[in-house]
Structure 1
Amino acid sequence: MGLVNKTRITDNLAVIIGNQHIDVIATEDFPFDVQIRFIKTDDAQLDDGSGKKVFTPEYQMAFAAAYKGKSAFFSNTEDIKSFTKQLKEIKELFEFATLNKQTWFDTASFDGVLSQKVGSL
């Protein structure tokens, strides 16, 4: 299945929701690798005797951002302003994802239920 949904979240970050995946797309000069995933946390399947599954797999949203450079180096206030803006964009993305996690889960066509917990990768 092709593209399901693309949403621009900030100036530098967008999200593509496809069949059972979420891809975070960052502009070329954005210095962080950012990921959002739905991770299966419980795969319990019970049989009610009729061959039907009683419970479906449980998923949890998880996200992470890793700085691409070895360390942050600031030589002037503009560097600090830029870095701070990028951190705010990541925060905005994670907050948006948390608020929209059920919609994203449904759009990505996961077979299961979504836990209310949000974690890190």
Structure 2
Amino acid sequence: MAGNSKDKRFLLRMDQSLYDRLAEEADRANQSVNMYIVSLLSANHGTKNFEKRQIIGKTVLGKDINPDNGLVLVSGIYYRYLINDNSEVDATAEYAVIEANGNILTLQKI
């Protein structure tokens, strides 16, 4: 990034304790504080779709999983699903959404 005429600069204010924590993490990652902040922003900006923002981590009741049609109802939306250990659906259990790939959710029994 350094020296690139298209790089943008701006002043970022933060308290000393936050800076110290970032500096420690940057040091562990063998990066400058600036590059570490840029990498955090790049990794977390605009790359998460709706499912990754709103669905992952949700709890689903087994009764909301329909093995006959292969759909699960999560937050009012029907998705295809996979059970992470390929087991049969337990209608009395609860499941956590652990992954979203397009319209397919991976569920794990909890």
Per the normalisation by structure 2, the TM-score is 0.22
Name the one with the larger helix percent: 2
Name the one with the larger strand percent: 1
Q: Find the structure with the greater CA-based Rg.
A: 2
Per the normalisation by structure 1, the TM-score is 0.20
